[in-house]
Structure 1
């Protein structure tokens, strides 16, 4: 199968769908790989490294899209890229369709086979292709929040760790999954006072056993969130419902009870955000202020540390890329129920139930698309 990797064109996105190491695995199995020139230049991966791994270097994205049977990317295709999709072509990337009806419409219209990293499942019920970027985003959320608590960045001028005689910042984390746990590790490690809110009592019990009195845990209710926000300096939204739009757990009315200059970091923004006042931002213009509260809602946070993120992502995605290339998409999805859960759009049909529900579209059983 001819595999293609175009450069990412989302603002300040430098991750690569395939690293030279991943390309070598594909070409070693007899699969030709085309990469757009300069694909990994920003993160120290040269065209020469890709050529040494067996890839062909082409001068334009249109040539990659025009020739490849399987496109491997990182972020959702932008409008100009979606125009290059063709019927039957396989796209493997993050999609986050629940919060992006225009993209969903274009993918349906293209009649391409679109497999989303974020809904591929694992044997234990996790999301193995989302997990590495959730780890990165959770850790980055604390860094970004701490930076924007500084006065020049619009925050209230609070040091996350505090100093002797001055208390540390209070970090509230909503959601105790992969993002929330990684944010917790960094925030607690930096010396912040941390409260974790989740509706899963067993998960809170596990965190309590590990962190003990270094953190506080609260069961998620509207009252618990509102009460915690009132004392928060930094709030990290880390809520995920696989494939579906994120629930709005922090309303605009709640902002009135918060400290002026507090910071909200919405890691759920790819799925629409878990704060009512959230809207996507970019690394070029990452924040805005609503009712005196700084909002950081960058939709591709791991792109800020693209060198780390690209390698971490490839570690997770490569086995699935190899399966798609070796077997073809029909057999690969038929053989692996977890990869099949990643099928979001297939030949003009929406094939993930949560995505279809979020978009108000009819759902087609993915099994029927494989027949």
Structure 2
């Protein structure tokens, strides 16, 4: 099989979808790997490193003219011209953006395989989890940075000073993002509260992972009180493959003290704060109601070396299965993988995306197409 790895062109996105060592493993199995020139530089992988492992360096167009394209982030509009019935394996977050990308995928008969909805045998999201962990760690560090007075913040440090705690952090969501954000905040020494909806799960987290954290049930009443007294609020809400619900209302944000910070990690799926809007690493924040909002849609791209290594560790087993087993056999035999198929040869196969984007008439069940 011919496998292409384009250079990511999203603003300040330094990750690459395949390392030289991963490419070598595929090449040794008889596959061809084509990597765009300079695709790995920001992640620490030189052109020569790819070539010495058997990779063919190519242009962007040539990287797309293959059987399987492996990326990191969703294609940008300038890349739609390359769509031509190939398989595309990457993060899509189709429900969190307008329908232009989905329409382009459908019209070009691409098969879109989404990292974020691929499940393993335990029903977990192994590829999304790796990036969620990095984003969760980042959320606390970014929040602490923007709380500094020179960065428009209120001047509160998250941490323990001479045995006394300073700074309060609210994490909305208790999944991978929320767990890592809470751990990082506890590590700094801040007072941390996590809001969730499953009391048994929160009790397990309290006993097994986060003994220093206070847990609350996420309701409008509890959130109104907790948001108002928090210096940093981290949005870590996930609805698999769907738009994130707006858990934090604009009224709640208005009640936060001036110079507080919001980091909305759910922004890839539309954000879980009513006041959130997508930002970039070039212009990462905006201020609304006196509160600094950080809503970068590709947070792990700020740490491309770590993120690339973690991402490739998670994706490579599935790439191997895909190229060795074949797409149709993999869909038939792996229910978790089949959940990653959002578009199959130009047919919309994700009912959630169809509902979120108003494309119900384009939806077809995957099993009807195989």
C-alpha RMSD of the superposition:
1.3
Question: Partner residue of 1:334?
Answer: 332
Q: 1:352-367 residue pairs with structure 2 within 5 A?
A: 352-362=350-360, 363-367=363-367
Match of 1:93 among 87, 90, 94: 90
Partner residue of 1:33?
33
**Which one is further off, 154-163 or 271-280?**
154-163
Shift of 1:327: 2.6
What are structure 1's unaligned runs of at least 5 residues? none
Match of 1:124, SS? coil
List per-residue Cα deviations over 1:13-45 (Å, max 9, x = no partner): 011111111101110110000001111111210
- TM-score, length basis structure 1: 0.96
Q: Give the match for residue 149 of structure 1.
A: 147
What corresponds to 2:103 in structure 1?
A: 105
How far did 1:332 drift?
2.2
Three-state SS of the structure 2 residue aligned to 1:68 is: coil
In the TM superposition, what whole-angstrom CA distance separates every residue of 1:302-334 from its partner, at most 9, and x where no partner exists?
000110000100001001111121233222222
1:80 to 78, 81, 94: 78
From 124, 127, 134, the counterpart of 1:126: 124
Question: Do residues 169 (structure 1) and 161 (structure 2) align?
Answer: no
Number of equivalences = 367
- Secondary structure (helix, strand or coil) at the match of 1:83 reads helix
- Separation (CA, whole Å) in 2 of partners of 1:231 and 1:337: 44
The answer (yes or no) to whether the contact 2:236–2:265 under 8 Å persists in 1 is yes
The offset of 1:353, in angstroms, is: 2.1
1:213–1:4 Cα change, 3 Å: closer
Give the structure 1 partner of residue 50 of structure 2: 50
CA displacement, residues 41-67 of structure 1 (integer Å, 9 cap, x when unaligned): 112101111112211011x201211x2
- Distance (Å, rounded) in 2 between the aligned partners of 1:133 and 1:124: 18
Deviations along 1:146-176, one digit per CA (max 9) or x if unpaired, are 1111112111111110423764110000000
Moved over 6 A (4+): none
Of stretches 76-85 and 267-276 in structure 1, the one that deviates more from structure 2 is 76-85
Instruction: Give the Cα–Cα distance (whole angstroms) in 2 for the partners of residues 114 and 369 of structure 1.
Output: 14
3-state SS of 2:170 partner? strand
- Give the CA deviation at 1:140: 0.6
SS of structure 2 residue aligned to 1:129: helix
Q: How does 1:302-317 map to 2 (within 5 A)?
A: 302-317=300-315
Alignment TM-score, normalising by the size of structure 2: 0.97
Q: Select which of 247, 259, 273 maps to 1:249.
A: 247
**What's the counterpart of residue 207 of structure 2?**
209
For structure 2, list consecutive stretches of 5 or more residues without a partner in the other structure. Answer: none
